[in-house]
């Protein structure tokens, strides 16, 4: 049995970035990292653009101007303004090359049908977004490794880009084991429970924008366990197994992994929940055998699997944020193992929740954080400063 810190170090040391390229439609590339630099194919804006509703002017010494027309956003005509002439213009519209300023409409008086008077002398180029103000043709738009956020997606589409080269995300398998498990929606006969771990982990992966996930279900049968795990390992970059890793008569996962020549990197971590955690690899595929208890499985996911996923994606920030917070609860820790406690963090304070049993998800459903209680801590009191792991929301 190894320590938490040693287990985390082993996961970090054995995770390798995929570094494979795939092409995605821009609108479906959210959360991916750019595989290569993107150079702008156009100037943005592609023309001198009005920053507001008002009047485009060819300035002169007088405050009065002859109004000769109108330009709306999207209009393609470009009137030629002589000195002392103006056109009505709207936000986003193309400013004629012969105009040298836009005066906002609030500072203009229309004296007649075709005459306007401005309140004061203008500054040249005021309220005009210059050609290529945001980015120029051929300039770097976004660099390799940039995470494609909603804003980045919008930016690329505004440049007319429809497809991007991104780092491929991993193929992930979720394998659930156990004769007692049935699908939600079926009649719950005596001795059976609804299988929730796979959907819980699937939802967690989806929330982190990992979508290439395959679900496998295997009964407590040794040969079937070997076959399913062999397929999952050969076809995926990361395999998550829930249940069957302990030493009961019908826990076949450990024996199956051994038969498949999976290299064991650690088995059992001094922690609560999640002591019976296995981590290994075969070739370039990483395998986590998570505890069967749902809260323990999810805790191990956030502490260890999250790191492996970020390493696969070649990201810099590979651990969930850890901060210090003031406890507003009392908690007495049993045993000598470090503990991850389900909690609610808010504005520098953290509440440790009731119901910390590893089989219970009700408390986890309310949590947005895990409190880390190290081996040396036997009791947490109100006002104590404690370490908090912030969970993704």
What tens digit of pLDDT does each residue of 197-243 get? 899 999 999 999 899 999 999 988 899 999 999 999 999 999 999 98
Fold topology of 49-129: Molybdopterin biosynthesis moeA protein; domain 3 (2.170.190)
pLDDT tier at 286, thresholds 50, 70, 90: very high
pLDDT above 90: percentage of residues in the chain = 81
Residue 119 has pLDDT above 90, yes or no: no
Mapped onto helix, strand or coil, the DSSP state of residue 34 is strand
Burial 195-218 (b: 16+ CB within 10 A, else e): bebbebbbebbeebebeebeebeb
User: What topology is assigned to 29-43+133-167 in CATH?
Assistant: Molybdopterin biosynthesis moea protein, domain 2 (3.90.105)
What DSSP character marks residue 299?
Answer: H
| Partners of residue 351 on adjacent β-strands | 344
Q: Tokens 């804006």 appear where?
A: 45
Q: How confident is the model at residue 317 (pLDDT cuts 50, 70, 90)?
A: confident
| pLDDT per residue as tens digits for the range 240-277 | 999 867 665 557 899 999 999 999 999 999 999 999 99
Q: Cis before residue 137, ω within 30 degrees of 0?
A: no
Kindly report, as residue ranges, where domains of CATH 2.40.340.10 are found in the chain. Answer: 322-390
pTM given for the model: 0.80
Instruction: Please name which of 264, 22, 282, 299 lies closest in space to residue 173, comparing C-alpha atoms.
Output: 282
> What is the C-alpha radius of gyration for the chain, rounded to an integer number of angstroms?
30
CATH 3.90.105.10 residue ranges of the chain are 29-43+133-167
The predicted-structure confidence for 327-367, as pLDDT tens digits, reads as follows: 999 999 888 899 999 999 999 999 999 989 887 888 999 99
What is the structure's pLDDT at 192?
75
User: In this structure, are residues 71 and 56 in contact, taking their beta carbons and an 8 Å threshold?
Assistant: yes
Q: Could you count the other beta carbons within 10 Å of the beta carbon of residue 373?
A: 21
Q: Which CATH architecture has domain 322-390?
A: Beta Barrel (2.40)
Q: Looking at 114-249, which runs of residues are DSSP E strands?
A: 115-118, 128-129, 140-142, 163-167, 172-177, 181-182, 193-194, 213-218, 238-242
CATH assignment of 4-19+169-312?
A: 3.40.980.10
| Residue ranges of the chain assigned to CATH 3.40.980.10 | 4-19+169-312
Runs of H (alpha helix) within 15-51: none
CB atoms within 10 A of CB 321: 11
């Amino acid at each position: 049995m190894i320590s938490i810190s040693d287990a985390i170090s082993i996961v970090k040391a054995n995770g390798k970035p995929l570094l494979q390229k795939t092409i995605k439609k821009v609108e479906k590339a959210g959360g991916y990292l750019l595989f290569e630099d993107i150079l702008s194919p156009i100037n943005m804006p592609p023309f001198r653009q009005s920053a507001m509703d008002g009047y485009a002017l060819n300035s002169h010494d007088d405050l009065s101007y002859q109004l000769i027309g109108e330009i709306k956003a999207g209009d393609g005509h470009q009137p030629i303004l002589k000195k002392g002439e103006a056109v009505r213009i709207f936000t986003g519209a193309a400013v004629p090359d012969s105009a040298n300023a836009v005066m906002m409409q609030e500072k203009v008086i229309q004296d007649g049908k075709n005459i306007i008077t401005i309140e004061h002398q203008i500054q040249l180029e005021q309220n005009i977004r210059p050609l290529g103000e945001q980015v120029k043709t051929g300039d770097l738009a976004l660099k390799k490794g940039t995470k494609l956020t909603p804003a980045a997606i919008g930016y690329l589409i505004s440049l007319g880009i429809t497809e991007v080269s991104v780092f491929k995300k991993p193929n992930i398998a979720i394998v659930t084991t156990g004769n007692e498990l049935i699908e939600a929606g079926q009649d719950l006969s005596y001795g059976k429970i609804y299988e929730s771990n796979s959907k819980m982990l699937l939802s967690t992966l989806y929330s982190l924008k990992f979508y290439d996930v395959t679900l496998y279900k295997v009964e407590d049968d040794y040969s079937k366990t070997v076959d399913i795990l062999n397929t999952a390992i050969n076809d995926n970059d990361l395999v998550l197994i829930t249940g069957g890793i302990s030493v009961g008569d019908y826990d076949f996962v450990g024996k199956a992994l051994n038969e498949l020549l999976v290299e064991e990197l650690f088995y059992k971590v001094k922690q609560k929940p999640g002591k019976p955690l296995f981590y290994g690899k075969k070739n370039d595929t990483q395998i986590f055998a998570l505890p069967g208890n749902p809260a323990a499985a999810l805790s191990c996911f956030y502490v260890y699997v999250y790191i492996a996923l970020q390493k696969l994606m070649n990201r810099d920030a590979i651990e969930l944020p850890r901060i210090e917070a003031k406890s507003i609860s009392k908690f007495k820790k049993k045993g000598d193992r470090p503990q991850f406690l389900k909690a609610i963090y808010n504005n520098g304070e953290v509440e440790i929740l009731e119901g910390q049993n590893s089989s219970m998800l009700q408390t986890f459903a309310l949590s947005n954080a895990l409190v880390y209680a190290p081996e040396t801590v036997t009791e947490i009191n109100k006002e104590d400063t404690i370490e908090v792991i912030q969970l993704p929301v």
